A = this chain, B = another copy of it.
Amino acid sequence: MNTPKGFRFSAVNAGVKSPEVRRDDMGLIFCEELAVLSGVFTRNRVKAAPVVIGQEIAGRGKARAVLANAGNANACTGDQGIHDARFLMKTAARELGVSSDEVVPLSTGVIGIRLPVDRMASRIPALVSALGDDPEVFARAIMTTDTFPKVVSRTVGNAAVLGIAKGAGMIAPDMATTLAVVLTDAVISKQDLDNIIRKSIEYTFNAITIDGDMSTNDALLALSSCQVTESIVEIEKGIAEVIRDLALLLVRDGEGATKLVTITVKGAADEQDAKKAAMSVANSLLVKTALFGADPNWGRILAAVGYSGIAFMPEQVFIDISGYRVVERGMESDGFNENKLHALLKEREIVIEIRIGDGPGAFTAYTTDLSYDYVKINSEYRT
């Protein structure tokens, strides 16, 4: 793990959900110098308090710290939620000796309940004292239904890029993702960082879907400590790779998921059409339940392309599943063997390739199957 220079990490238990829950649920990232900040946030009209505040700070483009919690989203909490977030930012800023509007808040968890600010504030001195070199403590503190912490890194010449994220449900396209932080020590301007982040998420966080639901709290923050000079092209590549790796980790840890499914649509009129078709398949409950059951029911894939809203000729469609030709010209392929497809669908990784015509448009989406455990995880009382 190559950690970018200038960042330190810590986590404590603050009993955010309730004093009885003993896991670390508040995390801190501290930047030794003022960092360049970029951010991408949920497009949900219902925005949690930390999103509203985070957008403000990201607009100014400078930060010294990220203060995060799991267990409570501080969403649908009105003005009180804004006050609560600011109170915690102020408490952390005082302990860290920085300005309050350089502390970016991030929250994830249940919606509509006020943060236990007194309990949380009382743990901030311990959080600051605990600052150290291990990013995984922060990654663990922002976990909700995640089954493992998500940290990836890349070395880019003398610089480093590190990514931390949480999953694992309520992940939909057309926005960042749940919570993610990307750190680098490469010298970079605010504008370059903004551009790189926007471009990188298009084929990564914006190409994954687990349940099609869009959260009130999604935020991707990128911070640079600007301590090392490196080629901006290489840094862009490193950041894109780190974000793609995080996106795939999110899908792998999708709630109740037993399979990682890659869906590529080719031959569309343009990339937008290819994305619509790929996302239609990726979000189809009938496709996802069939994948869970290894049901060789390829018609559901073709049907989902059919209702995606794009124009195409069904008789030009070819579908390969994990390298096996299943559909030729819109029909079952010659010599199609149901048992062979059933066996391929039992694998943990499934690759679906759909060619819908001769156009130049292509897009790859990532998704999961839909299992009993998805229902279990999301039907439990106040998850």
Contacts from A to B (Cβ < 8 Å): 43-47, 73, 75-78, 110-113, 169-170, 172, 211-216, 283-286, 289-290, 292-300, 302-307, 310-312, 314-315, 327, 329-332, 338, 342, 370-372, 374-376, 378-383
Contacts and interface: CB of A to CB of B under 8 A. Distances in A.
B216 A306 contact: yes
Contact of A372 (B300, B332, B372): B372
B289 A379 contact: yes
A202 to B, nearest CB: 18
Contacts of A299: 73, 75-76, 110-112, 216
A180 B298 CA distance: 25
A76 B302 contact: yes
A297 B213 contact: no
Contacts of A376: 372
A379 B314 contact: no
Contacts of A284: 212-213
Contacts of A78: 315, 329-331
Contacts of A43: 307
Contacts of A310: 45
A375 B369 CA distance: 10
Chain B CB count within 10 A is highest, among A47, A172, A375, for A375
A303 B213 contact: yes
A49 B370 CA distance: 30
A315 B79 CA distance: 10
Contacts of A47: 306, 314
Given A111-B303, A214-B307, A215-B303, A76 B297 contact: no
Contact of A290 (B73, B216, B379): B379
Given A289-B374, A292-B379, 14 more contacts: A45-B305, A47-B306, A47-B314, A73-B299, A75-B299, A78-B330, A212-B285, A214-B306, A216-B302, A216-B303, A285-B374, A294-B381, A295-B379, A338-B382
A132 to B, nearest CB: 34
Nearest to A217: B303
Given A46-B306, A46-B330, A332-B76, A342 B381 contact: yes
A252 B221 CA distance: 45
Contact of A300 (B111, B296, B303, B342): B111
